[in-house]
Chains A and B, each alone.
Chain A
């Protein structure tokens, strides 16, 4: 393998393209029409424009394979999102005679279908969340299928117990998922989940899981090469989530000791081996207070939060992906976790306004620097944040000898981070660092909902802020000599016109 095309954009494309250059591989980027000159295109030896603008350009598998074949490319790295978990694309890449930098299409399929994954895991001895798959042979008639599903779910719900989670087998990202508190809400939830799943995935099959409240999201990184070696690289805790979207991740998990790590690591390896996994992957578990853990799903790709594992293990996961794809044995020493790493995801969104995505120019973009920091960014100062793509701009990662120092380093780094022109979640992330549950390492997947039941609000503007605002407002209008109107103004320079316009 001498040349790799990265079928992605943003920070993960930058990450993988850099790894290619470090590995001595020719790095090829692709970009949509509206992303010519985007940061990731700077990291490549060659840029191939795709037709069309927005996410659809990066989802055009045929065009990407054609670009690879036309430009002397040997392998395709999909990053995450976009085509990374599409078995059909992986198969097309292989059929075109190219190297697919990821697990086999069969492994993607087995883990992508959540019901199949549950059954496979149970057979491999990996604990799954207590629940039941609803196996309904499709009759081609939705009304009949729905009725059969309703009947089967009602019967299964008595065995699973309430509260329970109803999930679409083809689901992901919260789509086709319903929490059901009691039998009364069951039928409505089944109808809703099926409708959503059919619309989003063309597949309405559902399964039931007991709803585990207050559990932690703990996931284990695995690596497997084609020479029969499968290892785990310890865990990450990603409990701090907002609507199933992770925002704050750390490694190791503060409540996982060496024995627990061993148990979870072995389960993760068993999960990977059950589908003959090759490459980098993540096995996600829900972990209860007593340490009981259950398989949630396996992500068959590199993950957003992979850098925290890299910092505490010293293993370059993307470099290993490239090595494994080239057919070489991985170069990973015995697991030794050092210190503590935390990652936060910088989103262009307004946390004070329901976390709605925001757009605008990055008029000022000055990331923090100094010891123990890593910034994986897909943008730089002067870029425009467009509504056409995912709002994640960058990831800020810190590494320190222990958890409390890592948290303190993250506070310092977020304080230094200046982004002006587009609203981001930086201040929200900074507040998270002071949240009681975060400080005491008692986070669960419901922590954020409990901490901000009425939403999050920024700190009010201080007098210094107002004063600077007034200077910014007038400085452009005129030279200082004509600014201000001291003679006719009121005695206080801070006349507040009170709360008038909520």
Chain B
């Protein structure tokens, strides 16, 4: 199991060894002798370039470069639905909500600072803040729970 971040989304993926390569769901991936990757997804096949530098995964596939990040396994394992954990070690710049607040999808909840960059944690859905575990100025570790938001009944 591995977690990767693509833009503002984190995905949990399960690559499995299969034959000469790997399979991820219905996608089959084989490493070619020249270092490139053969990626087969249904009828579509791609010749891809890929390399890992630190925690950054660089890929060129189907004419596009993608830059994703590995989130080392374990950091997210205790994740529960509705709980927000720190995507990376850093400092809490600002807490914008308090327990009991109602929030709407896209609303900023908290501002983190890491690698000299600001990261906004926003609500993915409409709901209610049930707990805030950090305060302004706190240092947080990757995977540390920041706050919890309960989704409105649909």
Contacts and interface: CB of A to CB of B under 8 A. Distances in A.
Interface of A: 360-361, 363-364, 366, 414-416, 418-421, 423-424, 426-427, 430, 458-476, 480-481, 483-486, 489-490, 492-502
Nearest to A481: B17
A500 B51 CA distance: 26
A493 B25 contact: yes
Contacts of A460: 6-7
Interface string B1-23: 11111111111111111000110
B68 A461 contact: yes
Nearest to B50: A472
B52 A464 contact: no
Interface of B: 1-17, 21-22, 24-25, 27, 29, 31, 37, 39, 41, 44, 46, 48-53, 57-68, 70, 76, 79, 84, 87, 119-122, 124
Interface centre among A420, A460, A490 (most CB of B within 10 A): A420
A156 B60 CA distance: 55
A492 B27 CA distance: 12
Interface centre among A414, A489, A500 (most CB of B within 10 A): A500
A418 B60 contact: yes
B120 A464 contact: no
Contacts, number: 193
Contacts of A464: 27, 39, 41, 44, 46, 61-62
A328 B5 CA distance: 61
Given A461-B66, A499-B8, A501-B5, A468 B48 contact: yes
A458 B64 contact: yes
A469 B6 contact: yes
A468 B23 CA distance: 9
B11 A494 contact: yes
30 contacts: A360-B53, A363-B51, A366-B49, A414-B63, A415-B63, A418-B60, A419-B65, A420-B65, A421-B51, A427-B65, A463-B27, A464-B62, A465-B59, A465-B61, A467-B13, A467-B29, A468-B61, A472-B51, A473-B52, A473-B57, A473-B70, A476-B52, A483-B15, A489-B14, A492-B25, A494-B11, A494-B24, A497-B76, A500-B84, A502-B120
Given A364-B49, A494-B13, A497-B9, 13 more contacts: A427-B65, A465-B6, A466-B4, A467-B27, A467-B41, A471-B24, A480-B22, A486-B16, A490-B12, A493-B24, A495-B11, A498-B10, A501-B119
In the A-B complex, list the 6 residue pairs whose CB atoms are closest, starting with the nearest.
A415-B63, A480-B17, A470-B13, A467-B24, A420-B58, A493-B25
A464 B64 CA distance: 12
A472 B64 contact: no
B2 to A, nearest CB: 5
A481 B20 CA distance: 11
A198 to B, nearest CB: 31
B89 to A, nearest CB: 13
Interface centre among A419, A459, A462 (most CB of B within 10 A): A462
A468 B39 contact: yes
Nearest to A498: B124
A474 B62 CA distance: 22
B51 A364 contact: yes
Contacts of B16: 483-484, 486
Contacts of B52: 472-473, 476
B39 A467 contact: yes
